[in-house]
Amino acid sequence: MPKTKMAGSLLPPISRLQRWFAYCKLCFLSLFYSANPGDDWLLEFMFQPVYHLVELVVPWAGPVFVGLVCCLLSSVVLIMYLCVLPTVLPTLGMPARCVHLLLAHWLLVHVVFNFKHAVCVPPGTPSWAVVDRSKVSTCKKCFSPRPPRTHHCSVCNRCVLTMDHHCYWMNNCVGHFNHRYFFSFCTFTSLGCVYCCVTSAPLATEAYAAQKAATEQGHRNGLLLYMWVLCGGVSVLLTALTLWHMRLVTRGVTSVERLQNRQNQKELRNKDQCFRNVYDHGALENWKRFLGVRCRRDWLCRVALPSSHPPLNDGYVWSSGS
């Protein structure tokens, strides 16, 4: 039987050389191919060294930020105990003293409790042992299951249930199991900073007017001004962040979902269709689900007082709003 020749061997040498050159060119261009139109790939390629630098810095930057928060909180608490309360309380009556002490320590306990849990409680990662493989998609980056509302965190390199964002100040992702602690920390820290500013305002005013006093008194004045400026700045920034997250919770969305929903709204608007958030159960019901409130008593036991209760659902299955 005669041997059959390959189709490529039938071509003249010049054509084979051109074909080989075209193949090499295609392989080279495929290294820089991007499915997205435009020249964004060039900008992304140029920023690759920056991305690698961030990946090297992030592992140790998180603990540094957590340590910084602990130092700032500790400094404010010490100044309140050593400089502010010993001066303010003797000028008040007994009922006012009790109110001050109860309010101050209620805020302090909430701040410490919620910060500790926001840092230490895992946000929740999906597991193949829990989900039905036929009903969920797979993450293309970490190959873990992706139930509804699950997103991949590029910092932690893992998928997070009901992911909101990655918080460097907590060195943790804010997700299904610690979102409430993050929000409570922001809320009570904002209230605590406002309390410190209001309580120390007369002392800070006197300290500002007497900056050139004796050395010993000057140290005290410097501490009072430091605390007042720190608490004032943090209260403004953190209150704005708290109000933003209150708006998200009221609407039943996370920060990631809000960005996705805005894109979906634009696409549906172009098609003359309306967008509806399927996870929005109404403002009050959204807050109950977020805070884990089942009955009226829970508003006291689970909201007004520190509580480590888990969320009402497991983060895998979500019901649709009416």
User: From its phi and psi, is residue 253 left (phi > 0), alpha (psi between -120 and 50) or beta?
Assistant: beta
Task: State mean pLDDT over 2-24.
Answer: 68
pTM flag (> 0.85): no
pLDDT band at 10 (very low <50, low <70, confident <90, very high): low
Contact between 146 and 139 (Cβ < 8 Å): yes
- What pLDDT sits at residue 107? 98
Express each pLDDT in 170-184 by its tens digit.
Answer: 999 999 999 999 999
Domain range list for the chain: 61-122+178-256+286-313
**Strand intervals (E) in 72-181:** 137-138, 145-146, 151-153, 158-160, 165-167, 172-174
pLDDT band at 1 (very low <50, low <70, confident <90, very high): very low
For the CA atoms of 236, 250, 184, 315, the dihedral, rounded to the nearest 10 degrees, stands at -140
Q: Which helix (H) or strand (E) holds 180?
A: helix 179-209
List the single range of 48-57, 130-139, 258-267, 279-288 with lowest mean pLDDT: 48-57
User: DSSP of 189-242, one letter per residue?
Assistant: HHHHHHHHHHHHHHHHHHHHHTTTS-HHHHHHHHHHHHHHHHHHHHHHHHHHHH
pLDDT band at 59 (very low <50, low <70, confident <90, very high): confident
Q: If you average pLDDT over every residue of the chain, what do you get?
A: 86
**Catalytic residue positions?**
167
DSSP character for 55?
H
What's phi and psi for 159, nearest 5 deg?
Answer: -85, 145
Write the single-letter amino acid at 203.
L
For the CA atoms of 306, 310, 313, 314, the dihedral, rounded to the nearest 10 degrees, stands at 150
DSSP character for 8?
G
- What pLDDT sits at residue 238? 96
pLDDT of 37 above 80: no
DSSP character for 271?
T
